[in-house]
Each structure stands twice: as structure tokens, then as C-alpha cells.
């Protein structure tokens, strides 16, 4: 490249974190000996470890993001009036501009939106089909007497989050389907994205069969980004978001993900009669429809976060961070099941092949990552879903705008050290566990001691 007659060498430049840091939160460094004690006290369940005893917390990307200066400023503008607060109208305006869905209600988080939807749509004895129902969505559907069926595509291409259209067609033909729930991105299959074509075709077929089309939109921006980078010429990011929401009759949203807030959610519907029923249910269980279980300041932060999340440099950095971590782990020999925008999924079943699913290879790896480097990750396998599909995964979820590249380098280095001893990681057994949602509170123990990590 020539500039005023001089040549300039072009080097590949890193994608940087597109923010600088104004407020910091100290990380307390711990030793392996201390972590052994913490893990023992927590009965090898990372949900029972105190956050201050964690060095890098990759348990979830939900509600763990860092708010911007503008979001904090918006917090001060929060209107805490019981009814008709200006914060609600700002929230409503942003939501409508984003989705073109006319009736939008705030809820305290995603699962509250799901519960209210399931309480207002008659579901008893009916079927709900999906590309992948998140656990709370499935639990709400089943609690209202319906059956949830996941029909993800089998081949994991670029849009491995898609629904299997043939299987959907066959299920719709058998009748009794009340709802189609499309989850973007598809968290239950490794956070893979869903294509616009798949959303449209699935919605058209479901609607023709008389089913309501619901979008679980918590990672809508990350899904839109994956569509955008796959075909950057076609549509702008905002057009893609519009097109995604155009496929649905109803959306539920946990704003704790792409809303980049610590708490909040939304429920949006096009149908006025349904909106009326939702208002009643909202008043009964969440709050008046202009605050829906949140403070006015939360609505302000959400409105601002939903705008910021569509900054292309933010979404590019977010994906780059996940890709960077995934390639570093792969270089250390870890089999990567999927790389989402929000997480990297290690195939612990394949990596710890000396352990059968009932020996909980995922949980063994989760404990090893904690012992070696104070990293908190989450098992998605036999512990979380007993007798599930056999996949034994460990999810390293990335909170939004929280960790820098050197934090990720640290995670990669810990991953590298654990890889060296992965063949000797012990089988785990469950000492005590409740019948349902056992992974949150189960007590576990290794059958043999963990290797020394220092």
C-alpha cells in the first residue's frame, strides 16, 4: 500500500475489545490447595462454589454481562412511577423498532415470559415442536400439560441450529401441534445459529397447520450476526433482525443475554386478544404491564442494551473471542463440539474416552478446570440431563464485555495443562441429588483422587 509515495506494510490486525474499561472488579487469585478445599466443601458441584472463589467465571452468559456507561447513565433516568412510567415507553419504542411486534410486555426474565405465554395459550394435551427447547421453556410447556418435541437438523452445517423441516412436516401432518418454538441461537445444540430460510419455511408450514409460531429470541443479535457474516451483501444487520421477528406471532426474550442487562425479559405478541389476556396474567404474577416485575431503571438499561448489541464491531469481537478460545483449546487437543457466539462447547465424552456417560466425564472435566485454574464451567450431559442423548459436553460460556483477551489466554493455558492429564481424570459418582433439576444441587465425589495440578 502506498501513502504519499512511501510503502506501508500491512499486517493482520487483531479484532480488539471495542471498549475501554472505566470500572474494575478485582479478581481474587487462589491457589490449588485453596481450590481443593473449596471444591470439597461444594461436594464437587460448581454451582455451590462461591463466586469470589472463582478466577474466571464461564458458568453462563446470562445476566453476567458488563453494562456500558450509557446504560448506567440510563439507570439514573429510570422513572419509578407505578403506571405509565416514561421508562416503559422508551423500552416499548426500542422493542417495537427492533421487532415490529406491536404489543410488548416487560417480564423479570425469560422464563417469566415463557410461563405467562404457557398460562394464556391453551396447551393441555397438545404438542409443542421446536428446533430445541431450552430447559425452562420445556418445563413451562410440560407444566401446562403439553409435550415438547425437539426436531433439530442432524447435520451440523453453518446453520446447525435449524429445525429438521422433513421431521417438522411429518409431525405437523399428524396434527395436534399447538406451537412451534424456534430458539435463536439454538442453545440446546451448542448455540448453533438458525438460518432465515429455515425460520421462514418452518413458520410457513407451522402456520398452515394452525400452530402458533413463537421465537425464543434471547440471542437474536448473535443469530443475526451469523446470518450476516454468512452473506454480508444480502441484508443489513437490522434488516435481518426484522426478518427474523417477522416470522413469529409471539416472541419470548431473556434480556439477560443480548439485552446486556443483569436482569430482565420481554414477551411480545401481535394478537390483540392474546395481549389482553397477557396483561391480566402479568398483573396477577409479575406486576403492572408498564413495569412487569422490573424497576423503571431496569427498563432503561434494557432499552439501551438492545441498541448497543447491534453494533457490528461488538458482535465481531464477540464471535472472535469465542473462535479464539475454541482454536486455542483445539490446538491443545480438546475436541470442540461447537463454537457459538456465546460459548465454546468441549466434547468431554470424546476427550475423556476412558469414562462412560454414567461416570460423568463432563463433571470430571469441570472439576479439573476449577482445580487447575479456578475456571468455572458447566456440565451439559448426564448430570444435567439424566438418560439424555448421550452427548457429554462442557460449556465455557462467555459473559458479554467482561473478559479481555488475556483472560481468554489464561483459560486456554489452563485448558492446555488439563489436556495433559485428561486420560487420568477420575470417574465421578453422585452422592446425593434431588429427582428434578439435579445438577444445581447434586453432591458428587470422585471415585479416585484428581491428579496434582501444581
From the list 26-34, 37-45, 129-137, 362-370, the region that binds ligand F0G by CB under 6 A is 129-137
User: Closest separation between CB of residue 132 and ligand F0G, Å?
Assistant: 8
User: Closest separation between CB of residue 87 and ligand F0G, Å?
Assistant: 19
User: Closest separation between CB of residue 90 and ligand F0G, Å?
Assistant: 21
136 binds ligand F0G (CB under 6 A): yes
User: Closest separation between CB of residue 340 and ligand F0G, Å?
Assistant: 10
363 binds ligand F0G (CB under 6 A): no
144 binds ligand F0G (CB under 6 A): no
Nearer residue to ligand F0G within complex by CB, 57 or 359: 57
- Residue 422 · residue 351 · CB < 8 Å: yes
Q: How far apart are CA 428 and CA 64, in angstroms?
A: 29
User: Closest separation between CB of residue 9 and ligand F0G, Å?
Assistant: 43
Q: Provide the mask over 167-186, with x wherever binding to ligand F0G is found by CB under 6 A and - wherever it is not.
A: ----------------x---
218 binds ligand F0G (CB under 6 A): yes
130 binds ligand F0G (CB under 6 A): no
65 binds ligand F0G (CB under 6 A): no
Nearer residue to ligand F0G within complex by CB, 223 or 450: 223
User: What is the CB-side half-sphere exposure of residue 117 using CA atoms within 13 A?
Assistant: 39
Q: Which of 45, 60, 339, 392 binds ligand F0G (CB under 6 A)?
A: 60
Q: Which of 45, 62, 131, 372 binds ligand F0G (CB under 6 A)?
A: 62
Q: Enumerate the β-bridge partners of residue 394.
A: 346, 379
Nearer residue to ligand F0G within complex by CB, 46 or 209: 46
Q: Which of 35, 171, 205, 256 binds ligand F0G (CB under 6 A)?
A: 256
User: Closest separation between CB of residue 199 and ligand F0G, Å?
Assistant: 15
Size of the site for ligand F0G (CB under 6 A): 15
Nearer residue to ligand F0G within complex by CB, 111 or 297: 111
Q: How far apart are CA 184 and CA 191, in angstroms?
A: 8
Q: Enumerate the β-bridge partners of residue 179.
A: 128, 212
Nearer residue to ligand F0G within complex by CB, 297 or 422: 297
C-alpha pair distances (Å), 348 with each of 12, 333, 407, 423: 33, 12, 22, 11
87 binds ligand F0G (CB under 6 A): no
- SS3 string of the chain? CEECCEECCCCCCCCCCCCCCCCCCCCCCCCHHHHHHHHHHCCCCHHHCCHHHCCEECCCCCCCCCCCHHHHHHHHCCCCCCCCCHHHHHHHHHHHHHHCCCEEEEECCHHHHHHHHHHHCCCCCCEEEECCCCHHHHHHHHHCCCEEEECECCCCCCCCCCECHHHHHHHHHCCCEEEEEEECCEHHHCCECCCHHHHHHHHHHHHHCCCEEEEECCCHHHHHHHHHHHCCCCCCHHHHHHHHHHCCCEEEEECCCCCCCCCCEEEEECCHHHHHHHHHHHHHHCCCCCCCCCCHHHHHHHHHHHHHCCCHHHHHHHHHHHHHHHHHHHHCCCCEEEECCCEEEEEHHHHCCCCCHHHCHHHHHHHHHHHHHCEECEEECCCCCCCCCCCCEEEEECCCCCCCHHHHHHHHHHHHHHHHCHHHCCCEEEEECCCCCHHHCCEEEECCCCCCCC
Question: By beta-carbon distance, which residue lies closest to ligand F0G?
Answer: 110
140 binds ligand F0G (CB under 6 A): no
107 binds ligand F0G (CB under 6 A): no
Q: How far apart are CA 51 and CA 25, in angstroms?
A: 12
46 binds ligand F0G (CB under 6 A): no
265 binds ligand F0G (CB under 6 A): yes
User: Closest separation between CB of residue 4 and ligand F0G, Å?
Assistant: 52
110 binds ligand F0G (CB under 6 A): yes
111 binds ligand F0G (CB under 6 A): yes
Nearer residue to ligand F0G within complex by CB, 226 or 422: 226
68 binds ligand F0G (CB under 6 A): no
278 binds ligand F0G (CB under 6 A): no
User: Closest separation between CB of residue 63 and ligand F0G, Å?
Assistant: 7
Task: Give residues in contact with ligand F0G (CB under 6 A).
Answer: 60, 62, 109-111, 134, 136-137, 183, 187, 216, 218, 254, 256, 265
Amino acid at each position: 500500500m502506498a501513502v504519499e509515495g512511501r510503502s506501508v506494510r500491512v499486517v493482520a490486525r487483531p479484532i480488539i475489545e471495542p471498549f475501554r474499561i472505566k470500572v474494575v472488579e478485582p479478581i481474587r487469585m487462589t491457589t490449588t490447595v485453596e481450590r481443593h478445599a473449596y471444591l470439597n466443601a461444594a461436594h464437587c458441584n460448581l454451582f455451590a462454589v462461591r463466586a469470589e472463589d472463582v478466577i474466571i467465571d464461564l458458568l453462563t452468559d446470562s445476566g453476567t454481562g458488563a453494562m456500558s456507561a450509557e446504560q448506567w447513565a440510563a439507570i439514573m433516568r429510570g422513572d419509578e412511577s407505578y403506571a405509565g412510567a416514561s421508562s416503559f415507553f422508551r423500552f416499548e419504542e426500542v422493542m417495537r423498532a427492533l421487532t415490529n411486534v406491536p404489543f410488548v410486555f416487560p417480564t423479570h426474565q425469560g422464563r417469566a415470559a415463557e410461563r405467562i405465554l404457557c398460562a394464556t395459550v391453551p396447551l393441555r394435551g397438545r404438542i409443542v415442536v421446536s428446533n430445541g427447547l431450552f430447559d425452562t421453556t420445556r418445563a413451562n410447556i410440560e407444566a401446562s400439560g403439553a409435550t415438547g418435541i425437539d426436531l433439530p437438523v442432524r447435520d451440523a452445517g453453518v446453520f446447525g441450529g435449524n429445525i429438521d423441516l422433513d421431521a417438522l412436516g411429518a409431525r405437523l401432518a399428524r396434527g395436534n401441534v399447538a406451537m412451534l418454538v424456534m430458539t435463536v441461537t439454538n442453545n440446546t445444540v451448542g448455540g448453533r445459529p438458525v438460518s432465515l430460510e429455515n425460520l421462514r419455511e418452518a413458520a410457513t408450514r407451522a402456520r398452515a397447520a394452525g400452530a402458533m409460531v413463537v421465537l425464543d429470541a434471547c440471542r437474536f443479535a448473535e443469530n443475526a450476526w451469523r446470518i450476516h457474516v454468512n452473506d454480508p451483501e444480502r441484508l443489513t444487520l437490522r434488516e435481518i433482525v426484522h426478518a427474523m421477528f417477522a416470522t413469529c406471532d409471539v416472541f419470548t426474550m431473556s434480556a439477560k443475554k443480548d439485552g446486556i442487562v443483569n436482569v430482565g425479559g420481554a414477551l411480545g405478541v401481535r394478537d390483540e386478544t392474546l395481549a389482553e389476556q397477557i396483561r391480566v396474567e402479568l398483573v396477577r404474577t409479575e406486576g403492572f404491564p408498564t413495569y412487569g416485575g422490573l424497576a423503571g431503571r431496569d427498563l432503561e438499561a434494557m432499552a439501551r442494551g438492545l441498541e448497543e448489541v447491534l453494533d457490528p464491531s461488538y458482535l465481531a469481537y464477540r464471535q472472535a473471542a469465542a473462535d479464539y478460545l475454541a482454536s486455542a483449546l483445539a490446538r491443545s487437543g480438546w475436541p470442540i463440539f461447537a463454537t457459538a457466539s456465546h460459548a465454546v462447547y468441549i466434547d468431554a465424552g470424546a476427550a475423556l474416552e476412558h469414562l462412560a456417560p454414567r461416570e460423568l466425564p463432563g463433571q470430571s472435566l469441570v472439576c479439573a478446570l476449577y482445580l487447575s485454574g479456578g475456571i468455572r464451567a458447566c456440565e451439559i450431559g448426564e448430570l444435567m440431563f439424566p438418560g439424555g442423548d448421550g452427548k457429554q459436553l462442557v460449556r465455557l460460556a462467555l459473559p458479554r464485555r467482561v473478559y479481555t483477551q488475556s483472560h481468554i489466554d489464561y483459560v486456554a493455558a489452563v485448558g492446555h495443562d488439563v489436556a495433559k492429564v485428561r486420560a487420568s481424570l477420575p470417574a465421578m459418582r453422585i452422592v446425593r441429588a434431588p429427582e428434578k433439576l439435579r445438577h444445581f444441587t447434586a453432591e458428587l465425589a470422585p471415585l479416585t483422587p484428581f491428579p496434582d495440578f501444581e
